[in-house]
Structure 1
Amino acid sequence: MTRRRRAPRSVLLVATVAMIFLALPLVGLLQRMPWTNLGHLLGDQAILDSLRVSLLISVIAASLVLVLGTPLAWVLGRVRLPLRRLVRSLVLLPMVLPPVVGGTALLFALGRRGLIGQWLERWFDLTLPFTMAGAVVAATFVALPFYVVTVEGALRTTRDEHEQLAATLGAGPLVVLRRVTIPRVLPAMGAGLALAWARALGEFGATITFAGNLPGRTRTLPLATFQALESDPEAALALSLVLLAVSLAVLVPTRDRWLPTR
């Protein structure tokens, strides 16, 4: 049994400053919150429209993340690809890429004159920029890595004896995946999906660049918050509280997958 070491006072001091630095903005936000007028602010039709748009976009994006991300995570976690490191780096790139750059890249790839967008419009009469579908694409682009990384990590650390046993008993690859693999990584899938949904709900830069800020169509909660800062700071505070509550609701049940436990 190891004994806990006492941290030097200088380290404790710096750590305390860091914690205060992280907590102070939240304290300031809650301190300025118009609690007495909160119900009226959140009942405003413009805010309700932004909430509806955000929920619709984030739920569709999360569904796409689940459909696209699960096979991708399985390939990265279980298949020995010759270019697996390159593929993994490509998957991780949206996590570190500035969202505005991601939106710009989507615009030049899927815009009306983009690499693929021009053919989508010509063949299918489909235009993505500055539409709700475009907002879904932007949200999916930034949220997908959070799900893939979480599920891939679970697949890489989960032993495959049960999968081998099921295969020797005659189960096909799809049956093994559906009956054995997925149930064992289901908690990681839930955690990853929650993180991806929260990331899609809070997306700003890629959305405003690729899909714009159109009321009732692409104006999500983050965009409405930014818009309200100029004209109605109390509404911006109320919207910030909603997003903060969502972040906490996602963090609390999933924190054990990201933080070490004793």
Structure 2
Amino acid sequence: MSTDFWTPIKLSLEIALVAGVFVIIVGTLFGKFMAKREFKGKLFLETVLLLPLVLPPTVIGFLLIIIFGKHSVVGDLIVAIFDKPVMFTWWAAVIASSVVAFPLMYQSAKTGFESVDEDIENAARVDGAKEWQVFLFVSVPLALKSIISGGILSITRALGEFGATLMFAGNLPGRTQTTPLAIYMAIDGGNMSLAWSWVISMIGISFVMLLAVHIMKA
């Protein structure tokens, strides 16, 4: 197959993996913070964290444009530091994918940490372990299956991101045109055989990743 066929797939995998690493780290930290902890405003904060799961991708894309776009505080700061805007770049696709994938990672990590026996964590504290040591060497290993499952699901979700990426990162071949966008363009251009090839590739990749999740949970 030609390079043009593999480029969107390669780009999708790169963006999904980078977004996945970011989401796994942040989602694990938030999951640990929110598990077994009660405080005023927790319900509101958790609703905000899960909101990208139910919002239309176009709404997420619109909000990302407002937050990171021209004349925004964050957008101006990025231009001041990197001398170029983040919109319509590879990193914009990573940000969009991270936002839509985060709730899956957060929910899975939180569930995993909630299942950890507090007596085991407290025993480590009694033995002199600091909180970061309890987190890294007790809590994370005990919740590892949920963390890995959430990570795989998040990467799979990032791999299939379309709407927010289109709005925030654009559809630039070789730069931000991921496989979902390439499939859309192929169908729009009447090239059904190419569209089918990409569709089958995405089904295969997603199937393998979801199968890995089920194997882990078995």
AA of the residue aligned to 2:143: V
Contact 1:108 1:115 in 2 (8 A): no
Within the alignment, does 1:72 sit opposite 2:30 as a pair? yes
Q: Aligned runs of 1:1-262 on 2, under 5 Å?
A: 43-231=1-189, 232-255=191-214
**Count, aligned residues:** 217
TM-score, normalised relative to structure 2:
0.94
Q: Distance in 2 between matches of 1:121 and 1:241?
A: 39
Q: Deviations over 1:117-160 (max 9, x none)?
A: 12321344241110001111000010111100011011112221
Query: What is the CA–CA distance in structure 1 between the aligned matches of 2:210 and 2:98, rounded to whole Å?
Result: 20
TM-score normalised to structure 1 length: 0.79
Where does the alignment leave 5 or more consecutive residues of structure 1 unmatched? 1-42
Q: Distance in 2 between matches of 1:52 and 1:257?
A: 26
Provide the secondary structure at the position in 2 that maps to 1:116.
Answer: helix
SS of match in other structure, 2:35: helix
Higher relative contact order (CA 8 A, sep 6+): 2
Render the CA deviation track for 1:92-115: whole Å, top value 9, x for unaligned: 100000011101100011012234
Equivalent pair of 1:47/1:224 in contact (CA under 8 Å): no
Post-superposition offset of 1:78: 3.3
What is the root-mean-square deviation in Å for CA atoms of aligned residues? 1.7
Larger radius of gyration: 1
Q: 1:82 to 1:257 in 2, by over 3 A?
A: farther
Give me the whole-angstrom Cα distance separating, in 2, the residues matched to 1:137 and 1:252. Answer: 26
Deviations 1:38-66 (A, max 9, x none): xxxxx122121111211111111011112
Larger mean CA deviation between 209-218 and 149-158 belongs to: 149-158
Please say which of residues 122-131 and 71-80 is displaced more in the overlay: 122-131
Distance 1:138 1:122 in 2: 21
Residue matched to 1:33: none
**Separation in 1 of the partners of 2:63 and 2:5?**
29
Deviations 1:162-208 (A, max 9, x none): 10001011111011111110000111111000000001111000000
Distance 1:135 1:117 in 2: 15
Task: Find the aligned partners of 1:196 and 1:240 in 2 and give their Cα distance.
Answer: 19
How far residue 257 of structure 1 moved from its aligned partner, in angstroms, is 8.4
Secondary structure of 1:78's aligned partner: coil
Following TM superposition, where does structure 1 have runs of at least 4 consecutive aligned residues deviating by more than 3 angstroms? 255-258
Q: 1:175 to 1:117 in 2, by over 3 A?
A: same
